[in-house]
A and B are shown apart, each in its own frame.
Chain A
Amino acid sequence: MRAPSLRLAALLPALLTSTGLMAAPDPADWPAVLEEARGQTVYWYAWAGDQRTNDYIDWVAERVDERFDIDLEHVKVGNTAEAVSRVLAEKQAGNDTAGNVDLIWLNGENFAAMKESDLLFGPFARALPNFALTRPADNPEVVTDFTLPTEGYESPWGRSQITYYYDSDALRGNGDAHDALPQDIEGLLAWAKANPGRFTYPRIPDFTGSTFLKQALIELTDRDEALYAPVEESDFAAVTAPLWDYLDALHPHLWRGGRQFPASSPEMRRLMGDGALSLAFTFTPSEPAAAVADYELPPSTRSYVPDSGTLGNVHFVAIPYNSPHQAGAMVIADYLLSPEAQATKQDLDVWGDRTVLDVARLPAEDQARFALDAENPAMLPAGALARTLPEPHPSWMTSLQDAWQARYVGR
């Protein structure tokens, strides 16, 4: 019995140094990061409710395998919160070095929750060679997530903005369709009254539905400044009272009389495709055009951004503090920012998610890759996305969700 334990004792120093080698990589030493990333398997927890997104991630996986010898595995989650709760559970269980999650696609309240609980690795974003292409000094939204400074704990990946879409054929006969379309939140109520049962929004806590609540709140309340500070600092009931009055008035005119809501933005898109709705919105501006290509929406689909402007934000990727493959995850985050990956992502035939790079300042040959397909009638007209409203503080999202559920669930 003695021999094996002796042998173990002899191994101990070796074991210790090998764990020493596994210490977090230094983002500043990029060649070392690339070297360490070689051969790693990176588990990327990313929302998988959309086939196009999944296909794009598959494409990225092939590229990083060729270029950097990294095996990227897309872990398909239905809700990003699942991945956050997994990392939290690992931390609670004392698993600080061998986490399951290596890379996570997130923004807003999930980022806020992870940062607050010290679940993130970093700062790393500024050390990524391609990060400079986003020109953060001129585009503060790539380093600000729902009013919170990212401080380098997440790297920007793409942009979203609320975009409305409709079937121009179905709305014909209403005079000039574009004039009849709602241009602000009050106009939406009037439109819903004139077209009962033809509009709805995703059920809270879906993020597109929650974004709709925030959009309505920004337009309805006259205390906008309160929304950009933590919710605890203001009188929630007073600030949100106009929102609930509005929703109480709106719901009877919604699809199913406001007694049922679609589960998500894609389900709302399906209802549009079935002709059950006349007007819908998405958080991905190119989604209507992409859905026409996928036979989900009729070719007569058109998009627009109301005159009042709409909420927009940037989505990010972050690396958990206990990921054993942080080097590989950083290399992937950097590759996601490369002009090649960003242009492919923006390509309507692939995904159509807008780039976070400052295209106007890219070299000319790279700029050409980002030319938008202006010919596609389902796409937004150029410049439509200029009217972007910034996201409120993330704490508003949770409070609005809870208040909505207390008010409308189980009645």
Chain B
Amino acid sequence: MMLRLAPALIVTLLVAPILAGLAMALLPAFGYLPALGGESLSLAPWRALAAQPGIGRSVAISFAGGLVATALSLAVVLLYLAAASGSRLDRWIRRLVSPLLSIPHAAAAFGLAFLIAPTGLLARLASPALTGWEQPPDLLIVQDPWGLSLIAGLVIKEVPFLLLMSLAALPQLDAERRVAMARSLGYRPAIAWLKVVAPALYPLIRLPVFAVIAYASSVVDVAMILGPTLPPTLAVSILTWFSDPDLDQRFLASAGAILQLGVTAAALLAWWGLERLMARLMTAWIARGGRDRGEAGLRLAGKLPILLATGIAFAGVGGLAITSVAGFWRFPDALPRTMTLDHWAQALPALGEPLASTVLIALGATLLAAALVLAALENEQRTGRTASKALWLLYLPLIVPQIAFLFGLVVVMEQLGTRPSHGLIVFGHLLFVLPYVFLSLSEAYRRIDPRWTRLALTLGASPNAVFWRVRLPMLLAPLLTACAVGLAVSIGQYLPTQLLGAGRVSTVTTEAVSLAAGGNRRVIGVWALVQAGLPLAGFAIAIGLPKLLWSHRRGMQGAP
């Protein structure tokens, strides 16, 4: 009974808040919000929006940034998979994917900013010996008006996501046999992969790609750190309008939220057009039958960018680690002259409460999500129906921009009279944690050999016993990994925590982002490291626990 309700419950939990939130953004966007004296429909908010200085540029950056970041990330991942499959680099990168994915967006953005700024680590390493700079050069790199550093920050974080999604989808394709077949016809390996595997892989990772477009075109925290400022991206502007003391700005902000929805939809539509175009070009390329032209270039293009992206991500975190113990650090010095633990000593007493809140909320949202997902998947197994049609609904929270519906949701909550609490935040995080847990777990669950179940049933076990004593233990490793992904997603959430918690509940992420306003890079370094360390601990447990539990059962070591 409970099981059969699970899919419906999931859909309600995901869809209802988004629809309610969107409705409460749509009405004020047209001037209707009686609580603020907006009694009739009007286009005034839209006129105000059009009159905002630099609005055209904000929209253009959000739109183009989203598309370019996605195209680059996808290209890096596909080229890498084509060029590096089976190599030593491949094994190395695969091991790094999870930790890379677990670095929260804000921490990665801080790291990148410190790396590439004119006063950053790279300029320091090269100065003054190579550049002759005694003073930092007056160059506009971070927060450039074209959004290039924003795009770079997004690519660094989206590459591991798309890679993980591709690695999860690849086993369905029998890629090795396809490549072997093409190679027997004389195709070089990377070209063979691009011609026979990539076209089959793309449809399987299409939804994650859409999620990346939506995220990149509407992100708030990364854009605040790396994005342009005069004007900022649309999503950042919306946040400013929503927090303006002049409540009439809420109408403007709501119109902005709906515009953001339109910008993201337009970016998705443009991507769809690009897909058509690419499909034609690919067909022509495949039909031409070239077997080895460009192989060397492809191999290089497959390895270099991913090495660069991984390297930058880790170097950024390394830079943060150094700043967190730095004394005064004059410009061209590659390392600070003095090291100190003062920053850590100052931050530690303040860490406790946000840390506890973070862990509590993340565990709550993840456990809830895991229970719901297990129930839905188990229901699928028992009824034999796959809910593939409803899958796009799972992606709804990932494709509808957060900023477009979260404010409306807060208005709904205010009307219902709910007080900000940890519970409310858990519910808000669930929106984003649940889809990721589902995506991470569903493949493993569906691929489990049905003969185990049949065997157990013929031995007289009840369906429940099969679940608890056969399927669950066999799925322990993927389940823990899915939970680690869920924890990482929850820990990284900024906007839902800040809005649903009314700022009263502070987590390490809200603390880190609010300290970013203070600009003390050393303190930011401490918090960003803590923020990055938490999800890492989750992944370490996810990998270590099954090994520990099954240390005496070799058959379970390589469980799916």
**Could you list which residues of chain A lie within 8 angstroms of chain B, going by C-beta atoms?**
43, 45, 48-51, 54-55, 58, 73, 75-79, 81-82, 84-86, 88-90, 92-93, 95, 100, 109-110, 113-114, 170, 196-197, 203, 255-257, 259-264, 266-271, 273-276, 292, 294-299, 405-406, 408-411
Taking CB atoms and an 8 Å cut-off, the chain B residues in 385-421 that contact chain A are 414-415, 417, 419-420
Complex contact B420–A100 (CB within 8 A): yes
Select one of A75, A114, A268, A411 contacting B503, CB under 8 A. Answer: A75
The number of inter-chain residue pairs (CB within 8 angstroms) is 161
Known: A78-B517, A295-B522. 7 other contacts (CB 8 A): A48-B514, A49-B519, A51-B523, A93-B415, A109-B245, A260-B140, A275-B136
Beyond A296-B520, A409-B54, A409-B230, whether A86 also contacts B502 by CB under 8 A is: yes
16 interchain pairs (CB within 8 A)?
A43-B504, A48-B514, A51-B520, A54-B350, A55-B346, A81-B245, A89-B247, A100-B504, A109-B245, A113-B246, A257-B138, A264-B517, A270-B521, A295-B328, A295-B338, A411-B54
Select one of B57, B135, B340 contacting A295, CB under 8 A. Answer: B340
Complex contact B230–A410 (CB within 8 A): yes
Q: How far is the CB of A399 from chain B (nearest CB, A)?
A: 13
- What B residues does A411 contact at CB under 8 A? 54, 230
- What A residues does B338 contact at CB under 8 A? 295
Q: How far is the CB of A254 from chain B (nearest CB, A)?
A: 10
Top 9 closest pairs, chain A to chain B, by CB: A410-B54, A274-B119, A266-B519, A275-B331, A49-B518, A84-B245, A197-B138, A267-B519, A49-B517
Q: How far is the CB of B63 from chain A (nearest CB, A)?
A: 15
Select one of B136, B145, B246, B513 contacting A276, CB under 8 A. Answer: B136
B176, CB-defined interface residue at 8 Å = no
Bound form: Cα–Cα A73–B414 in Å: 22
- What A residues does B230 contact at CB under 8 A? 203, 259-261, 408-411
The contact string, 1 if C-beta is below 8 Å from chain A, for chain B 325-336, is 011111100000
Complex contact B326–A295 (CB within 8 A): yes
B118, CB-defined interface residue at 8 Å = yes
B544, CB-defined interface residue at 8 Å = no
- What A residues does B523 contact at CB under 8 A? 51
- What A residues does B246 contact at CB under 8 A? 85, 113
Complex contact B520–A58 (CB within 8 A): no
Bound form: Cα–Cα A275–B134 in Å: 9
Bound form: Cα–Cα A56–B270 in Å: 52
B254, CB-defined interface residue at 8 Å = no
Complex contact A270–B229 (CB within 8 A): no
Beyond A43-B504, A78-B517, A203-B229, whether A259 also contacts B414 by CB under 8 A is: no
Q: How far is the CB of B127 from chain A (nearest CB, A)?
A: 11
- What A residues does B330 contact at CB under 8 A? 275, 298
Taking CB atoms and an 8 Å cut-off, the chain B residues in 478-520 that contact chain A are 502-504, 506, 510-511, 513-515, 517-520
Beyond A88-B245, A275-B331, whether A270 also contacts B519 by CB under 8 A is: yes
Interface of B is mostly: loop
- What B residues does A262 contact at CB under 8 A? 519
Q: How far is the CB of B387 from chain A (nearest CB, A)?
A: 38
Q: How far is the CB of B449 from chain A (nearest CB, A)?
A: 52
B36, CB-defined interface residue at 8 Å = yes
Bound form: Cα–Cα A75–B506 in Å: 8
Residue on B with the closest CB to A109?
B245
Bound form: Cα–Cα A262–B58 in Å: 19
- What B residues does A82 contact at CB under 8 A? 243, 503
Complex contact A89–B414 (CB within 8 A): yes
Beyond A78-B514, A409-B53, A410-B231, whether A256 also contacts B140 by CB under 8 A is: yes
The contact string, 1 if C-beta is below 8 Å from chain A, for chain B 308-346, is 000000000000000000111111000000101010001
Q: How far is the CB of B517 from chain A (nearest CB, A)?
A: 4
**Could you list which residues of chain B lie within 8 angstroms of chain A, going by C-beta atoms?**
35-36, 53-58, 118-119, 135-136, 138, 140, 143, 145, 229-231, 242-247, 326-331, 338, 340, 342, 346, 349-350, 414-415, 417, 419-420, 502-504, 506, 510-511, 513-515, 517-523
Q: How far is the CB of B374 from chain A (nearest CB, A)?
A: 37
Bound form: Cα–Cα A309–B328 in Å: 31
Q: How far is the CB of B61 from chain A (nearest CB, A)?
A: 10
Bound form: Cα–Cα A78–B495 in Å: 13
Complex contact A85–B243 (CB within 8 A): yes
Bound form: Cα–Cα A77–B338 in Å: 32
Bound form: Cα–Cα A257–B144 in Å: 13
Bound form: Cα–Cα A408–B140 in Å: 17
Residue on A with the closest CB to B140?
A256
Q: How far is the CB of A95 from chain B (nearest CB, A)?
A: 8
- What B residues does A269 contact at CB under 8 A? 519
Bound form: Cα–Cα A49–B517 in Å: 5
Bound form: Cα–Cα A405–B417 in Å: 37
Complex contact B140–A274 (CB within 8 A): no
- What B residues does A270 contact at CB under 8 A? 519-521
Select one of A58, A85, A266, A271 contacting B517, CB under 8 A. Answer: A266
Bound form: Cα–Cα A267–B414 in Å: 35
Complex contact B326–A75 (CB within 8 A): no
Q: How far is the CB of B302 from chain A (nearest CB, A)?
A: 35
Q: Which of A85, A266, A295, A408 is most buried by chain B, counting CB atoms within 10 A of its CB?
A: A295
- What B residues does A261 contact at CB under 8 A? 229-230
Beyond A410-B54, A410-B57, whether A275 also contacts B244 by CB under 8 A is: no
Bound form: Cα–Cα A299–B327 in Å: 11
Q: How far is the CB of B418 from chain A (nearest CB, A)?
A: 12
- What B residues does A51 contact at CB under 8 A? 346, 515, 518, 520, 523
- What A residues does B504 contact at CB under 8 A? 43, 73, 75, 100
Bound form: Cα–Cα A116–B415 in Å: 25
Complex contact B517–A263 (CB within 8 A): yes
Bound form: Cα–Cα A73–B504 in Å: 8
Q: How far is the CB of B395 from chain A (nearest CB, A)?
A: 31
Bound form: Cα–Cα A292–B327 in Å: 10
Q: How far is the CB of B235 from chain A (nearest CB, A)?
A: 16
Bound form: Cα–Cα A411–B326 in Å: 38
Bound form: Cα–Cα A76–B36 in Å: 26
Beyond A100-B504, A410-B231, whether A113 also contacts B328 by CB under 8 A is: no
- What B residues does A73 contact at CB under 8 A? 504
Q: How far is the CB of A77 from chain B (nearest CB, A)?
A: 6
- What B residues does A75 contact at CB under 8 A? 502-504
Bound form: Cα–Cα A209–B506 in Å: 28
Residue on A with the closest CB to B333?
A275
Complex contact B511–A76 (CB within 8 A): yes
Residue on B with the closest CB to A256?
B140
Q: How far is the CB of B241 from chain A (nearest CB, A)?
A: 10
Q: How far is the CB of A229 from chain B (nearest CB, A)?
A: 21
Select one of B54, B136, B350 contacting A274, CB under 8 A. Answer: B136
Bound form: Cα–Cα A78–B511 in Å: 10
Q: Which of A170, A269, A275 is most buried by chain B, counting CB atoms within 10 A of its CB?
A: A275
Q: How far is the CB of A104 from chain B (nearest CB, A)?
A: 11
Residue on A with the closest CB to B326?
A295
Q: How far is the CB of B461 from chain A (nearest CB, A)?
A: 46
Complex contact B245–A266 (CB within 8 A): no
Complex contact B138–A255 (CB within 8 A): yes
Bound form: Cα–Cα A256–B228 in Å: 13
- What B residues does A170 contact at CB under 8 A? 135
- What B residues does A410 contact at CB under 8 A? 53-58, 230-231
Residue on B with the closest CB to A278?
B135
Complex contact B145–A77 (CB within 8 A): no
- What B residues does A197 contact at CB under 8 A? 138
